[in-house]
């Protein structure tokens, strides 16, 4: 099976394959660790996670590199304000980023590359560009890339850059979206700022050079795929292409994947707009990590996702249905044999599911294929016509599903517990939803004891006491489910 993925560079769906016939070499732009990541950032990382998990499902080896931008204008500004070295300032957010990744079950790339640990590679690249007369040094000791040295500039974003001013410069990491300027490769030190003493002078790297240098360090001069959020297409990725291709005379990346934004009320979720939620915020409101994960991947990556709390509720319900269905499958006592209708439905679901993902990672259609099967299997079970071999066929499809979506297996308790711990440490307890607080007021052992007491009371036909315990648990956010195979409980 081959994944056909939209390629920003060619403007069409292209088959994604490793050029060397071995492993797909992919680079995805990572976070800038000046603060906690918001769910917009995580939408992008999650969609890349869908990509890597699907490639694994279809048997394609990958080598995935992600950078961490741990030096930039904002980091320097914030660490100066806090009066601490940048390494100390970013450490907290790097840890938080990995914790959030884990909570959302985002797999770790094979290689994480931190900007501050690759300064020599960046300096070498600037030197190479200087030797090619594509980089020049200004009076203050900064280095710029000369856009005029790269006539193909704009080929990724397809912007009309005809009004481009030769020699006009920009030195900040964030700048107007529509102006193409010579951009900073290396910034001379300003008083009090972190800097490195190097062959090209005392200073620090610009943002764009980072990704080029680190991608080439780990993946070679020509990558199979480069990914990031849609805002990075211009100028960041355009600049990466300009620097890399000028230095190597080779195509930098054959395939470019851009994840559309997560929006709130039609506007990009961003720190500067102030309209953002972090995964932690949502966990403290009582939403489960699995629901956040599903909501952020259920809308295919090439469609903007308008975030609402309803989308989290929908995701919670969908996961509930899947978990209940799987419990019913595993706990059910079925007659030996196979029901041809279910065998057919399972096979169709598996094909539709994989085809949907192979078609530009269409997660919405993939989900629909799975729910179609769940509906059919439930109906057949209700009629008592589900057979033992059907269970294996259906479970195999759910296994494929969870290999990419990873939400059926319930591992939600830990992220919530960690978020609560974090809220305590960072004086954010007022943000915790009351039900969530209540649900944490009993330990597992205390709940087990009450559940056992209720079972004993029911046996002794003391239904008043049994109800009393159920109500007490409900008030503390614990729900009890009686089933044929005994009593199960869970925190709301």
Interface with ligand AMP by CB under 6 A: which residues?
A: 29, 31-32, 40-41, 43-44, 228-229, 231-232, 259, 261-262, 268-270
115: CB partners within 8 A, 6+ apart: 67, 68, 69, 70, 71, 122, 205, 210, 214
Structure tokens at 281: 């915020």
Please tell me whether residue 29 binds Zn ion under the rule CB under 5 A.
Answer: yes
Please state, in angstroms and rounded to a whole number, the distance separating the CA atoms of residues 292 and 415.
11
CA distance 25 to 18: 7
Nearest to 488 by CA among 454, 438, 439: 454
Shortest distance, CB of residue 233 to ligand AMP, whole angstroms? 9
Q: Which of 115, 119, 211, 381 binds Zn ion (CB under 5 A)?
A: 211
Q: Of ligand AMP, Zn ion, none, which one does residue 205 interact with (CB within 5 to 8 Å by kind)? A: none
Residue 229 near which of ligand AMP, Zn ion, none (CB within 5-8 Å, type-dependent): ligand AMP
CB 393, min distance to Zn ion, A: 43
Task: Using the minimum distance from each CB to ligand AMP, give the nearer residue, 205 or 228.
Answer: 228
Of the pair 65, 450, the CB lying nearest ligand AMP is at 65
Q: Is 16 helix (H, G, I), strand (E, B) or coil?
A: coil
Q: Shortest distance, CB of residue 61 to Zn ion, whole angstroms? A: 23
Nearer to ligand AMP, 154 or 228 (CB): 228
Rounded distance between C-alpha atoms, residue 466 and residue 454, angstroms: 5
Tokens (6 digits) for 82: 């806090």
**In the complex with ligand AMP, which residue's Cβ is closer, 147 or 227?**
227
Q: Does 28 bind Zn ion (CB under 5 A)?
A: no
**C-beta closer to ligand AMP: residue 43 or 146:** 43
Q: How far is the CB of 54 from ligand AMP (least distance, A)?
A: 19
| H or E element, residue 15 | strand 12-15
| Total binding residues toward Zn ion, as defined by CB under 5 A | 2
In the bound complex, what is the minimum distance in angstroms from residue 89's beta carbon to ligand AMP?
A: 15
Choose among Zn ion, ligand AMP, none what residue 211 binds, the Cβ cut-off being 5 to 8 Å by kind: Zn ion
DSSP-assigned letters across all residues of 319-342 = HHHHHHHHHHHHH---BSS--HHH
Q: How far is Cα of residue 63 from the mean position of the Cα atoms in its chain?
A: 17
211 vs 423 by CB, closer to Zn ion: 211
Does 86 interact with Zn ion (rule: CB under 5 A)? no
Region for 16 from its dihedrals, namely left if φ exceeds 0, alpha if ψ lies in -120 to 50, beta otherwise: beta
Q: Report the residue number, 101 or 367, with the smaller CB distance to Zn ion.
A: 101
Minimum Å distance from CB 257 to ligand AMP?
A: 11
CB 355, min distance to ligand AMP, A: 26
Q: Which does 44 bind (CB under 5 to 8 A by kind): Zn ion, ligand AMP, none?
A: ligand AMP
Task: Sort residue 220 into left (φ over 0), alpha (ψ -120 to 50) or beta.
Answer: left
Considering the complex, what minimum distance in angstroms separates the CB of residue 370 from ligand AMP? 25
Task: Decide: 235 and 168 in contact? Cβ < 8 Å.
Answer: no
Cis ω on the peptide bond leading into residue 235 (within 30° of 0)? yes
Length of the chain: 492
The answer for residues whose C-beta is within 8 angstroms of residue 56's C-beta and 6 or more apart is 62, 403
User: For residues 257 and 227, is the Cβ–Cβ distance under 8 A?
Assistant: yes
Closer residue to ligand AMP in complex, CB, 134/214: 214
Over its C-alpha atoms, the chain yields an Rg (Å, rounded) of 26
Q: Closer to ligand AMP by CB, 34 or 186: give it.
A: 34
Least distance to ligand AMP, CB of residue 105, Å:
18
Q: What does the alpha-carbon distance between residue 439 and residue 52 come to, in Å, rounded to a whole number?
A: 35
The stretch among 22-30, 147-155, 348-356, 421-429 that binds Zn ion (CB under 5 A) is 22-30
Nearest residue to the partner ligand AMP, using Cβ: 229
Q: Which residues bind Zn ion (CB under 5 A)?
A: 29, 211
């Amino acid at each position: 099976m081959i994944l056909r993925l939209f390629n920003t560079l060619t403007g069409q769906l292209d088959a994604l394959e490793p050029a060397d016939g071995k492993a797909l070499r992919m680079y995805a732009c990572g976070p800038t660790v000046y603060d906690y990541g918001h769910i917009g950032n995580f939408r992008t990382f999650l969609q890349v996670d869908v990509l890597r998990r699907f490639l694994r499902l279809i048997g394609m080896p990958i080598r995935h590199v992600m950078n961490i931008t741990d030096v930039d204008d904002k980091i320097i500004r914030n660490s100066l304000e806090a009066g601490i070295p940048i390494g100390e300032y970013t450490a907290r957010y790097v840890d938080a980023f990995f914790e959030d990744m884990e909570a959302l079950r985002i797999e770790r790339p094979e290689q994480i590359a931190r900007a501050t640990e690759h300064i020599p590679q960046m300096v070498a690249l600037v030197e190479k560009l200087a030797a090619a007369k594509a980089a020049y040094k200004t009076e203050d000791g900064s280095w710029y890339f000369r856009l005029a040295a790269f006539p193909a500039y704009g080929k990724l974003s397809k912007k009309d850059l005809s009004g481009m001013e030769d020699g006009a410069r920009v030195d900040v990491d964030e700048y107007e979206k529509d102006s193409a300027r010579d951009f900073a490769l290396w910034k001379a030190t300003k008083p009090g700022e972190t800097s490195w003493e190097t062959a090209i002078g005392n200073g620090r790297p610009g943002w764009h050079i980072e990704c080029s240098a680190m991608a080439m360090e780990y993946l070679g001069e020509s990558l199979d795929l480069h990914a990031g959020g849609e805002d990075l297409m211009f100028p960041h990725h355009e600049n990466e292409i300009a620097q890399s291709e000028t230095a190597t005379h080779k195509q930098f990346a054959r395939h470019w994947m851009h994840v559309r934004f997560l929006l709130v009320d039609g506007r990009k979720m961003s720190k500067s707009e102030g309209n953002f939620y972090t995964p932690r915020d949502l966990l403290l409101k009582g939403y489960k990590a699995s629901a956040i994960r599903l909501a952020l991947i259920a809308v295919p990556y090439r469609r903007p996702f308008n975030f609402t709390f309803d989308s989290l509720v929908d995701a919670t319900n969908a996961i509930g249905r899947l978990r209940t269905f799987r419990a019913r499958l595993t706990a059910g006592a079925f007659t030996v044999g196979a029901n041809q209708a279910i065998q057919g439905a399972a096979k169709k679901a598996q094909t539709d599911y994989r085809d949907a993902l192979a078609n530009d990672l269409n997660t919405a259609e993939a989900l629909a294929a799975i729910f179609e099967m769940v509906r059919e299997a439930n109906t057949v079970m209700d009629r008592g016509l589900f057979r033992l071999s059907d269970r294996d066929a259906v479970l195999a499809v759910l296994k494929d599903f969870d290999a990419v979506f990873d939400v059926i297996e319930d591992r939600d308790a830990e992220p919530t517990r960690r978020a609560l711990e974090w809220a305590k440490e960072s004086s954010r307890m007022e943000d915790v939803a009351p039900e969530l607080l209540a649900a944490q007021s009993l330990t597992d052992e205390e709940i087990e004891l009450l559940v056992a007491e209720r079972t004993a009371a029911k046996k002794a036909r003391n239904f008043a006491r049994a109800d009393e315990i159920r109500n007490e648990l409900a008030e503390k956010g614990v729900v009890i489910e009686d089933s044929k195979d005994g009593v199960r409980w869970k925190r709301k």
